[in-house]
Each structure stands twice: as C-alpha cells, then as structure tokens.
Structure 1
Amino acid sequence: MAQAVPADYGNDARIDALLHKLTLEEKMNLIRGERENPATYQGQAGFLPGVPRLHIPSLRFSDGPPGVLTRVPAQAETATMGVAATFSIKDVEANGVVIGRQARSLGIDVVLQPFINMDRDITFERGYNTFGEDPLLTGAMGAAEIRGIQSQDVMAQAKHYLAYDSNSYNMFVDQQTLHEVYAAPFADAVKAGVSSIMCSYNRINGSFACGNADILKTLLKGQLGFKGFVTSDWGAVHSASFINNGLDIEMPGFNGFFETGPERKTLHRKPNDGAMGGMEVGTIPEEPPAVDHSGAFPKDSDHMKMRDALKDGSVTEATITTAARRVLYEMDRFGYLDGHQKHTITPQDIEKNASVIRQTAEDAAVLLKNDHALPLKATELQSVALIGPGAGQVAAIGVFGERSGGLTERQIGPLDALRKLAPGAHISYSVDDDMTGVPIEASMLSHDGKPGLLRTDGTGTTTVDPQLDFTNSNHKALAANGTFTWKGTLTVPSEGVYWIYLQALGARAALQIDGKGVGRTGANQGDVHGDIQQATQDNIFPTTDGLDNVRRTVRLTAGSHDIKVEASGDTSDNPEQVRLNWLTPERRLHDHQAAIEIAKKVHTPIVFLWTRGEPNFGLPGDQDKLVEEIAAVNPNTIVVLNVSQPIAMPWLSKVKAVLQMWWPGDEGGWATADILLGKVNPAGRLPFTWAKKIEDYPATDPAYPERSAKGVAGKTTFSEGVDVGYRWFDKQKIEPLFPFGYGLSYSTFNYSDLKVAKAADGGLDVSVRVKNVGPLKGDEVPQVYLDAPLQRPEGVQFAPKTLAAFERVTLGVGETEEVRMHVAPRSLEYWSVAENRWVRSGERRVRVGGSSRDLKLESVAK
C-alpha cells in the first residue's frame, strides 16, 4: 500500500511561485474542464488540461461509485449500500484501496466518490448509491473510503454537496438539520483529508448549490475548514459569478461559463439526463415505464460567461488565482507536481482486488428471515433447485451508470459456485425469465422474398445472412470497427407479445421493426460513461456468453414485419459481436411452468429476485407472483434478494428464509454460495429502515406533500427535520418490517456489563461484553444509540434516539470479548441556530444492542 497522503500539506512558497508565472488563461486551465486529446482520452468523466509549460500536469476524473469507469473495463465491487451494510470500517477502507488501485492502473487521478448523500427518499433514483439513511454511518463509511482511495496516491472527490437527496432540484432545509444531517458526512470527509468535493445540481434554500456562498464559503470552507477544491457537477454551473461564491472548477457542461475566449461549440459534456434518468439505461420489459425527471432540471442562468465577467469586473483575476491555488495545493499535496502521477494504462491487480470484493460481499449479506432453513444441511443439498436468472448469473452491479461495469469473465453465478463448493450436491436449475433467449430462426427471416437478411457493410458490399448471429461463442464475430446494416422481413407465426433481444459487444447497435425504433445500445461515441459498449450496460445481466443485452417487448401480429439492424464499431478495436435473439410467448410460458414443476420435485427451492432501475418499493415483472406460486407448491422455499433498496414482500410469511445479498460485484456468486452453505456466517446490518409500506417513510407519507420530490409550488421542503429514516419511525411509533441496523446470524450473541465513561476528548467511551452462545463462529455488530437529552432546550430538535457508535467483532463459539466503542463529542452536541454554533447537550441515556429496535442494555451519561 502506498503511503497515506498527509491531511494538511502544501508548499505555499512553491505554489506562490507557480501562480506568479501563470498567465490568466493558464490559470483557467486549472479550473475549467476540457476534452482530452482523442489519442489519449480514456472515456473518463472529466479532464483538466494543466499547464505543460510549467510541468503542471493534467488531471483525469473518473466516475464512480463504486469502482472506476473508463473505456477499460474494471472490476465491479459490491454496491455502495452493500458496503454500508458491512458496518465495518475495515471493509470500507479496503474497498477504498481497491478503488484507488484500479484508478492507478487505469491512469486516473481523481475518482468521483464517495457518494455521501442521505438515503432520505427511497424513490430518489440515485438513492441506491448512498451509504444509507444515517449521517454518522454515512460519514464513517465515507471517511474510511477516502482514506483507502487516497492511500494509493489518488484523489477522492466526495459528492454531492449538498442535500441532493430527492428527484427534486429545489430543496429547503432548516439550518439545524442542514448541519446535523446533510453536511455531517461532508464534515467527516474533510476531517479525513478529502482532496475535493463536488457541488450538486440542486438549489438549496433558494440558491444553486454550486453558487451558494452560504454552504460553500461560510459552511464548507469556513466552519469546516476545507482546503481542497470544489468541482461542479456536469452542467451544474449557471453563471461565471459562481466562482465568487466558493466554486473552484467548472467541469464541461452545456454552456461553458468559465470560457474566456471567443464563443465555441459545447465541449465534451456529461449529459445531465444521465444524472436525472438512470444514466442512459433504457427500461427493460420487467420494469415499469421510466419516469422522466428532465423537466425538473434547472436550466435558468444569467448567461454571464467568464470573458464578460472579467471585462465588467464582476469577477477578478484574484478570485481566479484563489481557485487555481486550491487545485495546485492538492496537486502538490499528492505529489503530482513531482511526477507521482500515472497516466499509463497497466494491468489491474485482479486477484488482490477480487479477494476484497468477495470478502465485502460476504460481510454485506443481511439475513432477514430464517426459520431454521439456512445454512443448507448436507441432506438438503441432495435435493435443491435454484430458480431465476440471478441463480445462473450473478447480479453483480444492478444498474449500469457511474460505476465500473465489471469483468464478465469473472462473474460466476451462484449455481456454478454452489456446484463447485459442494461437489456432492444435487442442484437443479430453472431460469424462469430467460434473459438471453435464442437466435431468431432462419426460417423466419427473409429479404425480397428470398431466405436470409441482406447485410450491407460500410463499403456498400452486400451479403446474405441466414440469421443475425455473429459472436465469439459461435466463432463468427465480425471484424473490428466496421459498419453494418441488416434489412429484411421477420415472419411471425402468431400474434402475441414477443421479447426481442438486441445483443452486442465491440459495437453499438440499433433495432427497428416496421420503421419504428425498438431499442439501441447505451454507449455513444464521445460519451463519458466509459465510451465503449460494456456487457453490463443495458440489462440487469449480460447474456450468458457475455454480450450487452438490449431487451424489449413488442406486440406483433401474425405475418411479415420489416426489420432493420444497424451496428458500428465502438472504438474498442475489439471484434464486433451482434446477435438478434428472442423469446416467443409460448417459450416464456414453458419456462415459467418448468420453474414451478421443478420446485415441486425438490426438498428446497431457492428463488433469486432482483431489482435494477428506479426504485418503486416493488420487484420488477412477475417476481412476486413467482415466489407466491413456488411457496404454494413447496413450503421450504428460500429467497435470495439482489436489491439495493427496500421492496414490498407480500410473500414473506410464506417462505422459510430471506437472504439479502445486495448487488455484490464480480465475486458475488461465490459470496452467495458461501453464505448459503454456511461457510460464512452472515452478519450484515441494514443501513436503512425497511418499512412495511412506502407511505411509512417521511418523504413519501402523503400527509406531507411538501417533502416529496414533486413538492408544493415547486419546492421540496425537508420538513421532517432531523427525523430522517429510523428517527421518523421512532418518533411516529411506526413498526418497520425490519429496523435500521437489523440483521440475523446463524449464531446467537449475549450482551452484558455495559460501561460508560467520559473520554479524554469530551466524548464517551462505551464498553460492553459480547458472548457468542451459538453453534458457529460469527460476527456481531454492537451499536450505541443516544436518547434525546433528558432536558431539552426550547426550540431545538432532537430525534428520539440517534446512532452514536458501532463496531463489528468476530467471535468463536463460546468466546467473549469486551467491545470498546467511542462516542465522539459531536454526537453529544446540537447545532444552535440562535447562537450559530455547536452546543453541548445535557444528560443522555446510552443504549446498546444489535439494532435500533433491539437495545439490550442502557445507562446514563452526563
């Protein structure tokens, strides 16, 4: 591991000397995003050109979390929410090291993570990327990830500052809540020495976050003492004057407000519709229609460009110099001014990273229910059926977006992992929802009354192909960087809904039926989300042979339909693979009935369920119906979830066990098998409250429309105040399905001997004895909560209780450990709006236990 970057280091004399030599335009090259030269561009999110004349290097920014997204596929790590579920600082820091190591391998300087917003509203389409609903947990996770990333001489950029926690873009938050909840994780990031912070798209209390002096200058750079640089999200700048209010860098967007020269065409940009609507991922058949949030995105501006602001004096060169100084400070701090940067592409440390990813996926697993069904016993392994596409393939990443897409060659599904880890078992498999399908038969394809489709390449040469099936797996992949068009007629045997799959890799592709666009692959040349077609881009799973999979449903009448498929190279220089697959209505019905029949015949059916797109508190497609039908024919049904937000579970009482595996990354199949077999004892904890119904959450309670993304009169007001997540459930006395911090184990743990003492730093030292009284070695996660003060100052908000500390410990059978946890002084304080400062609260009751609703011991601390 590289030496950790000091939290406070910078050679002021050196930076002053450089600034003195820089021209105005060269300073702008340190604070204005540009497009990298196509000869070296790596499909990353952003680029600062630097100043070659003075050996000031360029900076590459790459998307996340988690992982690193460039034109070179990188390993997929456990989803952020799963990482939070480990409740393990050690695991999170190790994941940060993996991210930093990947970034170094792929020539990246700044990774745009951690994502430390609050999971306040489960309908927020990017909520899955957070560390959950609690500010202390989020801050601890984010800080650990930052330390891991920056130990590899890579800059971390915490995002999105501030209150970007809703599909709304106009948020209003009171000052106490702003400080105690939404800014708190960023305060922890600053303490961890984060290099940079990304300001968000939304308005906060009336002003755009990237031009809001209250949160950037007063709070972030003033009260929190942040010394790094503030980068705008792409397209989040609306005026050159934002630099006066605390913004340092404008990344390329729609308008280029930091332009100082003549008007130019828009530079390489990161599309805002990606940030708002699923990162260019089209809806797949199982999902409800996508919701378009683009109308809510703020597009207004004062049209002031930097060249005009400098002319009229509304922006001065001194302000530009101050912003450039912050960038140089971090370059110097990380050694980039001394050549410690790396822009070459070198092999990733696959095996070293994989061990961390597998460990994290195992530690993240949350056992939600277990009626003595898990782990699987030797006798049960003689008659097991795995059902669902998530059994045959691992749901590694869920939804493609800002994260690394993964290495499909490493993605072993739970089915194969179980068979390898338990070679004597008898395990059958039924896919139910076949997401790869079969090539459309040659007998159904024709052109001009002749068999086959007519292919035309970029030179105008024509060829007749009996089927559209050109892949590595059938040894017929096409040459790289070609342009191909297939035209012809599809003859459909009977009317019905057909599932059509356009599959590609090494190429971008589009499909038309009867002159109407049906689907296209997600990658576009010049895009910033990798730039090449990746196998995990357009579906919850790639095809079984590793192609990207654009899946659509089309109602077709019996008879002839015109079809057209276009494909072109994606600049990866890989052979072009293109295939047109489908599933007929009859085949889908057959596959579903086969799943029910196999469940009848075995002792234990295990059903794998998934989500991918915008959360809606429900499973896509007919997955609920599948579980109901299987549980009806076999009472021993077990469910494995690959979801990243809560879902309704109407079948919960009818199944024997429920295991939450999140989106576990490339190694998730192995991790899932390890948990099912009992090779690993699950100990993950929920980083959010799992409600019985969506209306129970504060942001989706219909009694408070102002809190919703739609808001009232265009304003979303966080009127729940500090009562976010479990705090709201406590205050309203709402019984959740599963509480925050909850998770079962294959073992049992006893708590005793709680001790609370004043700590040297003004906080509290809490200790508790935990004993493993169960049959297996396992981990336990003691959690410390503070009740509201026994005497509460008038006009100050206090949640009924708040998380104040936690620890994860491993205990052998019969082993006891005294677990020590520290409550920081800030947990004993509140933000006084009247005094504009942090104030110590009064006497607090300390509670300790295994979840927010399972607090076994208590004491009082003054």
Structure 2
Amino acid sequence: MAPNIWRAICTAFVLLVHPITTVAQADITQDSFFYGQSPPVYPSPPMPGAGQWTEAYSKAVALVSQMTLEEKANITVGYNPTTGCSGETGSVPRLNWPGLCLSDAGNGLRNTDFVNGWPSGLHVGASWNRNLALQRGLHMGAEFKTKGVHVALGPVIAPLGRVYEGGRNWEGMGIDPYLVGQLAAETVQGIQGAGVTASVKHYIGYEQETNRNPEGNVSSVSSNIDDKTIHEVYLWPFADTIHAGAGCIMCSYNRLNNSYACQNSKTLNGLLKTELGFEGFVVSDWAAQHAGLASAEAGLDVAMPNSVYWGVSGGNLTAAVNNGSLAESRVTDMATRIVASWYQMGQEEGFPELGIGMPLDYTAPHTPIYARDPSSRSVLLNGALEGHVLVKNVNKALPLKKPKLLSIFGYDAVAPPEMDISPPSDPLSPFTFGYEPELDAIAFVSSSFPQIAQNGTMVSGGGSGANSPAYISAPFDALQEQAYQDDTSLFWDFTSFAPVVDASSDACLVFINAFATEGADRAGLHDDFSDGLVLNVADNCANTIVVIHNAGPRLVDQWIDHPNITAVIFAHLPGQDSGRALVQLLYGVQSPSGKLPYTVAKNESDYNTFAPTLPSEEYALFPQSNFSEGAYIDYRNFDAKNITPRYEFGFGLTYTTFLYSDLEIEILPTVSTSYFPPDSPVVEGGIASLWDVIAQVHATVSNIGEVDAAEVAQLYVGIPGGPVRQLRGFSKVDVPAGSNVTVEFDLLRRDLSEWSVVEQSWVLQQESYGIWVGSSSRDLPLQGTLNIG
C-alpha cells in the first residue's frame, strides 16, 4: 500500500476515535485530542530557510543537491566516535563535508582536559542575570570550538523542575518558563556567537529520571500534557531559544502523550517545525530513537549515537526511499537542515579539526589543545558569585569582619581527595557522580547517605552534564587564604557528626550539600545526617552559618528556626571558582545578589508535584505521568492555594536595603492590542506579532543602605483567568549606596496572551491585567493595572 494512502487511513482512524473538537477551558486536562493522546501531524515541513537563515539555507541546498541519496542518508546517523566527541555524524569526503562532532554538556565541555568547569545551569538561574548567561555561553562555546566541537549539547530547558526530586534539575535554569526562556535564549546566542551550534534540550516534557528509558517490558514514562499547559509552560522557553536562532533541538527519552518524543509528529512536525518555525535540525538524545520510518516522518533529523532503525550509513532510509515508503524529499530536508546549521555558524572556514585534542581516552598521552582563555576568568568568577542566594542573615551575622577564631565543619568544605574516572559498577547508580563510563567523576556519594556527596565539596551535579574542571577552589582553601590575610585562627573538623566546638569561636561555618545526578531521581529533599550535623554544631555555637551546595531545592525547616543559626546561603553549584566566590561574599568583598529560581517549601507536602511518577498497577508496563496540575507548579501553586513557603520564588537577601517606588504602566499607542493580524507571518519562535512590545512598565529602585549592591527587580502579571501572578519581566541592576536606578520592562504580546484551545492560537483578553513589581514573588510593594481593550 502506498505510504500516503496508509497515512490517510491511520489519520482517519485517529480522528474517528479522537475527533478534533473545541474544548471548554474547564475541560482542558480531559482533552482527548491532546491530553494522553498525541494526534498525527504529517508531512514533516521542509526547512523554511527564511530570515537570518536565508544565506545558510541557499548554501546548504547547493551542497546537498550534489549529494547522492546514500550520502544524504549517511549524514543523518551517528557513528562510533573516533575522538572524545559524544557523537559524530557521517561525512561526505567527496564534497569535503567533514561531518559534525556533538559533545556534552550544558555546563562545560566533557570528557577532555584543559577546559573550565563552569557554574551549572541552576546557578545561572539563581543569578537572574541575562548578560552573565550570554557571556558564559560565549566563553564556554569558544572552548567547544577550540576542541573542534560543532554542536554543544545544551543549554538544558527540560527538566523545568516540575518534579522536585528530579535528578537533572540542576542542569536547567529554574522552574519558571519565563525565567528559563530568557536565560536560555541568551545562552544560545552566546554559544552560537562563538561559532558553535547550540542543541537545546530535552524536547519535551522530560521531568523525571525514573522510567525515563524503556527497561525490559516497561516503556518510558508518558508525560501527559494538555494543549494549553504545553504551550503556556513547557513549550514557552523552547520558543525563546528558537527565536534566538537555536540551530538544534534534542528530543527527549520520555513519551509525550503516549508517543515517544523522538517520533512524536505533533510536537516535532506540528509544534516545533510548523508553529514555531524552527529552522535547524532535531537530534535524538542518545539511544532515544525507538522506530525507523515513523521517526523520520515525524520530524527526527539525526539519530545518535548510531541507529539500529535507520541502519549503518542510513541504509534503511535509502531502502525506504527506493521502495516508495519514504519520500526522498524528507531525507533531503534532513540533510539540508544539518548542513545549513554548519553554514549558519560559519563552520565551513577555519574551523578546527573535528574533536582535536579529545582522544577517546584523554588520560593516555596525546597532543594537548588548550581551550581555556584567560578572558574567561572574570566570567567564571562572576558566574560563581551571582548564583549564591543568601536567605537568612540575623543581626548582620554576615559579612564576617576579621574574626579571631573561625571554626569550620562539614564534609562539603574541602576539595574531593581524588579525580576518579573509572566507570561505576552500576551504570545507573545514584551513588556515583556520573553514570556513563567515560564521565569525569569528581565525587562519590556514600551509599549510607545517598542524598549527599560526602567526600568533598560539590561544584557540579552528576551525569552527562558534568565535566572535568581545571581546578577546584574549595571553601576551605579560600578560607585559609583569607585567614592568613586577617590573622585569623582556624579550627576545623570535616568528618565528625557531632564535632567539638571551641567556645571561643566567633563564628562556625557548616558546609553540607544536596546531590543529584542523571539516571536517578533524588531520594528526598533533606537528609538526616546533614540536618543532624547542622543541629549538633548550632547547639554549641551561638553564631552558626550554614552553606549548602545544592543540586536542586533543599528543605531547611528541620533547623532553620534554631536561635543559633544566624545565616544561611544556598550556594548551588558554582563551578571551579566555588570557594573563591563564596569567601568574597562571606567577607563582604561582594554583596550577595542571587535570587531563588524555585520555591523552598516548609514541607514536602506543600509541593503538588514532589516525587516522580511510578508505574501503577493499571499501567505497570506503560507508566503514565499526568500533568493534571496544568500551569500551577511552584509559586503559581503556592499562590493559588495560599500556602506560605519558607522562601518564595525570586527571594534573596543582600547586605543593603532596597526601596521600590514610582510605578508607571503604559500601552504603546503604535501597537494594536486586538487579535493577531491575519497576515502576521511565522518567524523563528512563532507568529511574528507575538514578539511585538505592546506595553512598558517603569519603576525606581533605591538603595537606602550603606553598601553598593545589585538588585533583581521582578515584574509579575495577573492574566485574567490564569494563575494569580506570573513572572513576565526581571532586570538585574547595580545600585550604589544612596542612589536610585530606573528599571524598564517591555511586555510582549505573548507575555500577556493565553493559549486558546478553541482558537488554537494565542489571544489577548480585552480586560484589566494586574501588574506587580518588587523583589520576589511575594514581596511586591508596587501594584497597578494594565487595561487592554
């Protein structure tokens, strides 16, 4: 039977069982058209080749037109790498096309030497600094290019952090789609500004490690997301990165509405390549391809690290074209998208040899390629500084002022005793720093306390997002140097659960951590060992300061109200300059400026999506994770249910006091706020008019304290009928003591729109929108109204 006829029959059957109907908003999560069932969208649209991609597209068409069918198919599949690249595509030597080197990770180049260990994605999220995200991407991307890597496998958008125990939340930039989208877009521009393609991942609905891959007879978990929620939450940040020009999207391991993400025609053909006008290519996560013809027709362009389904050299694709089951135009489009990204990043001229200086075993003798640029030093340090979040500071316990005796406790204070790159005995063990044999492991997690990295300070989480730092500045190292300068005496005990505390201590620092890794979700959000250690010190030290290196949200209510605990810092994962940055903050050389990119609850039960979904008795072989909470995750859920958090989303203290005033709200008179113009074209990221600025908000931030510091002014909008408030703007500004700064927020049409399942479009409501400006999602002293219509 001809493929088009067969597809028509299948489509007719699906529509018969799940007819396309309009759905009332109250019934969205029961929408049989989308929720739990992924509708077919065919054919896969060809690359538009428009806008900023016009020249690269023309060059790609010219080159691909010279390729044989076999050559085009060959470059769509991965080969066993001959270098330290995570994956390599096929090449076309006859036309001098070298193929692509793709390498992890979003936090630094993995599996090689002479590169930097950068602050994690979560640390960037806690900085709330767009320019820092841009500079980090630019300098990190330059390291990838120096090593001959064409595609950097990052930044990470999903997991967004819906599951608080998620093992990979530390790789992403937070739990709010607006915050993540803004910072990820800057990261894409930075990486690609260095001449390297950014592969934004993991598309889409990848929110847990548990059952992320098929195992035995059990399929991957299905993330069941309704039409409205997927647009307003999980697709939102991907749209930002595509609007920024992302050249690659990585499809994820999970199923989405019961169709594997790398063969889901609705999300790949429909949402990504049609609705968002994506110009680049789609690559599978490693071994995430689970079908041959179906994945090609659904929009997958590259299969990694190889393909059983498309065959060696893409031979099965060639056969499918020759027997009439696959149109050659689909293979041509796959090759065109791949080659166009190569041209778009300027990789055809002067690009280093593929994977140079990255041998399969970099511990063996090899010619070193030094990718670290001295100009990166300030970005590394500033990135480490700005992701620390001060959440408690009683009676100005911080900054420290030349203490006579400083006592230091906790397993996280010192550098790990060794760099171990041997593979773990269990490749998916939650007790090791990484799960892949070639991963650079810098810490091991005790099997007795699986929630912590017990043998040294933690600068990164585990899994393919980690890399080998050039060095580790541990807190104790930096504290010793500061003690030398201040003539301070130090007392330390890094191993005892109930350490002896010298009564003469001016302050006691306790260092703990909360570990997370790819391949396993966390066992909880606090551990008894670390909590007991904190309490044992606090019971004997009147000035106890707790520093937590946390790879995700970490609960603190087991000890936060102890009267002797005077200061607490969520230090996140700062990268290799960890200790150096922390000491500058502890001693007031820099004032803390980070803000929480998630909510810290008082109890686990306050989170409505706390733990990963497990297979049920009904769905033992096909685990189902229903995102029935819709858009109400994190602070949106806390606001809707009026739950008081311990520390709200966007919260963070500093060493001064800020005052907000002079709120101004205006609709731009030159922009229509009516329904989208019928001729509004689709650009990268969606309908062009979605990106129009239709309103502006201004406010004044005054520093009424005595310390120069930076503040993150935050704008929240109340869209009628939606969550109480949603983040729709932020601006990090330096405000000298005694001065004030005016902050300006641009509100785009998309910022004020909701997704209509009836119209299948974004719509503005002709109503009044609440506007709030302040320093966190709950501290919003300025309030006003924006009237539309």
Distance 1:261 1:145, change over 3 A: closer
Counterparts of residues 791-830 of structure 1 (less than 5 Å)? 792=721, 798-830=722-754
Structure whose CA Rg is larger: 1
4+ aligned runs moved over 6 Å, structure 1 = none
What do the CA deviations read for 1:13-63 (whole angstroms, capped 9, x no partner)?
4333322321222112221111233xxx1x221101321110112211111
Contact 1:177 1:722 in 2 (8 A): yes
- Partner of 1:49 in structure 2? 90
- Partner of 2:243 in structure 1? 191
How much has 1:836 moved relative to structure 2?
0.6
SS in 1 for 2:501: helix
- Partner of 1:230 in structure 2? 282
Contact 1:109 1:341 in 2 (8 A): no
Contact 1:373 1:636 in 2 (8 A): no
SS in 2 for 1:672: helix
For 1:768 and 1:427, the matched residues in 2 are separated by 46
For 1:231 and 1:384, the matched residues in 2 are separated by 52
SS in 2 for 1:28: helix
How much has 1:262 moved relative to structure 2?
10
Residue 777 of structure 1, aligned match among 699, 708, 715:
708
1:421 aligns with 2:432: no
For 1:825 and 1:833, the matched residues in 2 are separated by 18
Counterparts of residues 289-688 of structure 1 (less than 5 Å)? 305-306=316-317, 309-310=320-321, 312-340=323-351, 342-343=353-354, 344-345=356-357, 346-378=369-401, 381-393=403-415, 395-407=457-469, 410-422=471-483, 423-433=485-495, 591-592=496-497, 596-613=499-516, 614-620=521-527, 622-649=529-556, 650-654=558-562, 655-688=565-598
- Partner of 1:518 in structure 2? none
SS in 1 for 2:486: coil
What do the CA deviations read for 1:94-118 (whole angstroms, capped 9, x no partner)?
1101210110222211000010121
Distance 1:377 1:323, change over 3 A: closer
For 2:290 and 2:545, the matched residues in 1 are separated by 52
1:22 aligns with 2:67: yes
- Partner of 2:45 in structure 1? none
Residue 613 of structure 2, aligned match among 708, 713, 734:
708
For 2:695 and 2:776, the matched residues in 1 are separated by 20
Contact 2:292 2:310 in 1 (8 A): yes
Amino acid in structure 2 at the alignment position of 1:775: E
How much has 1:213 moved relative to structure 2?
1.0
Amino acid in structure 1 at the alignment position of 2:192: Q
Amino acid in structure 1 at the alignment position of 2:702: K
For 2:290 and 2:596, the matched residues in 1 are separated by 38
For 2:250 and 2:608, the matched residues in 1 are separated by 27
- Partner of 2:758 in structure 1? 834
Contact 1:786 1:801 in 2 (8 A): yes
1:208 aligns with 2:116: no
Amino acid in structure 2 at the alignment position of 1:66: N
1:245 aligns with 2:154: no
**Worse-matched range after superposition: 68-77 or 25-34:** 68-77
- Partner of 2:15 in structure 1? none
How much has 1:757 moved relative to structure 2?
1.0
For 1:180 and 1:618, the matched residues in 2 are separated by 27
Contact 2:171 2:465 in 1 (8 A): no
What do the CA deviations read for 1:181-200 (whole angstroms, capped 9, x no partner)?
10111100110000100011
Contact 2:115 2:370 in 1 (8 A): no
Identity, % of aligned pairs?
31
Amino acid in structure 1 at the alignment position of 2:701: V
Residue 163 of structure 1, aligned match among 205, 210, 234:
205
Contact 1:57 1:337 in 2 (8 A): no
For 2:510 and 2:522, the matched residues in 1 are separated by 20
Amino acid in structure 2 at the alignment position of 1:412: S
For 1:139 and 1:126, the matched residues in 2 are separated by 17
What do the CA deviations read for 1:619-645 (whole angstroms, capped 9, x no partner)?
456211111111111121110110121
How much has 1:383 moved relative to structure 2?
1.4
For 1:8 and 1:341, the matched residues in 2 are separated by 23
Contact 2:693 2:749 in 1 (8 A): yes
For 1:429 and 1:227, the matched residues in 2 are separated by 58
Distance 1:839 1:245, change over 3 A: same
Contact 1:240 1:258 in 2 (8 A): yes
Q: How many residues matched?
A: 639
1:142 aligns with 2:184: yes
Distance 1:111 1:427, change over 3 A: farther
For 1:400 and 1:729, the matched residues in 2 are separated by 30
What do the CA deviations read for 1:80-107 (whole angstroms, capped 9, x no partner)?
1111011110111111012101102222
Contact 2:636 2:725 in 1 (8 A): yes
- Partner of 2:161 in structure 1? 119
How much has 1:260 moved relative to structure 2?
5.5
Contact 1:683 1:745 in 2 (8 A): yes
For 2:191 and 2:693, the matched residues in 1 are separated by 30
For 1:361 and 1:687, the matched residues in 2 are separated by 15
1:846 aligns with 2:776: no
For 2:101 and 2:179, the matched residues in 1 are separated by 30
SS in 2 for 1:328: helix
When you count strand as a share of all residues, which structure comes out higher?
1
Counterparts of residues 98-109 of structure 1 (less than 5 Å)? 98-109=139-150
Distance 1:230 1:856, change over 3 A: same
For 1:56 and 1:363, the matched residues in 2 are separated by 42
Amino acid in structure 2 at the alignment position of 1:651: W
Contact 1:105 1:348 in 2 (8 A): yes
How much has 1:235 moved relative to structure 2?
1.0
Distance 1:395 1:94, change over 3 A: farther
- Partner of 1:528 in structure 2? none
Amino acid in structure 1 at the alignment position of 2:291: S
SS in 1 for 2:500: helix
Q: Using structure 1 for the length normalisation, give the TM-score.
A: 0.71
Unaligned 5+ segments in structure 1 are 264-304, 434-590, 702-706, 793-797
SS in 2 for 1:750: strand
- Partner of 1:857 in structure 2? 782
SS in 2 for 1:417: helix
C-alpha RMSD of the superposition: 2.1
What do the CA deviations read for 1:340-398 (whole angstroms, capped 9, x no partner)?
4553443123432232111011111100111024424435x111111123223373533
Amino acid in structure 2 at the alignment position of 1:414: P
How much has 1:211 moved relative to structure 2?
0.8
For 2:762 and 2:91, the matched residues in 1 are separated by 40
Contact 1:116 1:142 in 2 (8 A): yes
For 1:739 and 1:599, the matched residues in 2 are separated by 35
How much has 1:745 moved relative to structure 2?
0.9
For 1:219 and 1:123, the matched residues in 2 are separated by 28
Amino acid in structure 2 at the alignment position of 1:164: Y
Contact 2:128 2:732 in 1 (8 A): yes
Amino acid in structure 2 at the alignment position of 1:602: S
Contact 1:363 1:682 in 2 (8 A): yes
Amino acid in structure 2 at the alignment position of 1:858: Q
